Amino acid sequence: MKIIKIILSLLIFSTSNFFLFSKTATLKIYSASIDYEAFFQDEDVSLLSYNLIDPGILSNEVRVSGSMSIDGVYTTFTGQFTSPYSAKDNNSNGIYDFFEVGESFSIDLTGSASYSLQGYGSFSANLYANVQRIYGQHSFNLSETVTVQSSNIDGVYVGQTEYVSETLNAVHALGTITYDENAGTYTYYLGYHGTSGSASGSGTYSVNSDSSITLSEMSFPSIGDSSFASSFPALSKKTLSSSLTVPFVSGNKFHVMTQIENAPFYLVIEDDNDANSDGKPDLLKTTLQEVQSLNLSGWNYHIWPWVYNSSDDNWLYYHRSGDDWLVWRNKTSTWLKFDASNGLWVSN
């Protein structure tokens, strides 16, 4: 009975460890797409329709059109202004300040707009705006000045100025990535912000010699505007997908700035898991393990899938993964894979 209790204890202990291999890190993806409707909002304005003609990502000039109600009067408008998305990098870390929510960001924009009020006439105006990041968010405070340049409407005169304060929300996704460092697999979930929707998926990852990680698949948020199907296909989709390599920076952080179908993104993974307290996240664990090989010849005592091996003096747990056999070695808390070329079990 005693040996049975020992075996059961081993089974319970090690099976619990088997299911605890998965670890979770935070996942954040920031895009260059912004909801520019705030440029045409005001207390006496109700926006009826809004069309983004050019997002300014490639041209550096945003162009929009639409319709609104101004004090009950149907009005159409067109506008163009410089894009707030810029290549500023004040801390010289290779990541645009626009993307880094922990960095200050401020930019001045200029442009113009034309308005046609049904039954009254039309006027044009110059736009000046300052855009500043709301710290810790992928959102910005907009302080806009609208100055009339020409008008044929009674009561709207040249030089008349209006001031608008609104919030610009940029499209981004926040979620988690759950990984198994022994199997080299992961799953993820992302909730979209600044647009509707969400994404989830799974894949395999590998740790490279330069401490970067390569993900086989990741989703990126977009705006799903079908009018861009020809001019900027990435924006006509709700979700983009691609593999990518993410460098390790320091502490718990991996990050990379990348382009998917010409659309810019900034991806961040923050992994607080550090089982061996070496100051590096467990996503890098496989680069820190010494490669082991194990010969499991000798007599074995089987209580499948557990096997006691006499030569290793250790309990081993066998697991089938696709076409490969893996074995969990209790003594070193590592997974080993069978190498048919030499008949040994070898760690990743």
201-252 pLDDT, tens digit each:
999 999 998 999 999 999 999 999 999 999 999 999 999 999 999 999 999 9
Share of the chain above pLDDT 90, in %: 64
The pLDDT of residue 290 is 40
User: For all residues of the chain together, what is the average pLDDT?
Assistant: 86
281: which DSSP letter?
-
Neighbours of 167 (CB within 10 A): 13
Residues 195 and 165 in one domain: no
Q: For 279-302, write each residue's pLDDT tens digit.
A: 899 999 863 344 445 555 665 556
Domain match, 116 and 238 both: no
Radius of gyration, alpha carbons of the chain: 29
pLDDT of residue 16: 45
Give CA–CA dist 93/326, Å, rounded: 41
Q: What is the pLDDT of residues 159-182, one digit of tens each?
A: 999 998 989 899 999 999 999 988
Q: Is the CB of residue 115 less than 8 Å from the CB of residue 105?
A: no
Do residues 253 and 319 both lie within one domain? no
Residue 242: CATH number of its domain: 2.40.128
Q: Are residues 26 and 38 in the same domain?
A: no
- Asked if residue 4 is part of any domain, the answer here is no
Is 144 contained in some domain?
yes
202/308 same-domain check: no
Question: Facing residues of 204 across strands?
Answer: 185
Percent with pLDDT over 70 in the chain: 88
Let me know if residue 9 belongs to a domain.
Answer: no
Apex 268 CA angle, 262 and 273, nearest 5: 155
Question: Which residue, 223, 249, 280, sits at the end of a domain?
Answer: 280
Q: Is residue 6 part of a domain?
A: no
Measured torsion, CA atoms of residues 193, 195, 200, 204, in degrees rounded to the nearest 10: -80
Residues 228, 259, single domain; the answer is: yes
237 in the same domain as 195: yes
Say yes or no: 276 and 319 in one domain.
no
On whether residue 115 sits in a domain, the answer given is yes
Is the residue at 243 inside a domain?
yes
Within this chain, do residues 119 and 188 fall inside the same structural domain, yes or no? no
Same domain, 144 and 53: yes
Give the end of a domain, one of 280, 308, 324: 280
* Amino acid residing at 171: V
Q: How far is CA 94 from CA 60, 87, 97, 219, 259, in A?
A: 20, 10, 9, 22, 14
pTM, two decimal places: 0.77
The count of domains in the chain is: 3
Task: Supply the pLDDT for residue 297.
Answer: 61
What Å distances lie between residue 78 and 56, 58, 346, CA to CA?
15, 20, 65
What residues make up the domain containing 244?
22-30+172-280
Q: Verify that 129 and 213 share a domain, yes or no.
A: no
Residue 179 forms part of a structural domain:
yes
Domain boundary among 170, 201, 223: 170
Give the side-chain half-sphere CA count within 13 A for 15: 9
Average pLDDT over residues 72-98: 94
CA distances (Å), origin 79, targets 62, 111, 284:
8, 7, 49
199 falls within a domain: yes
Residues 220 and 338 in one domain: no
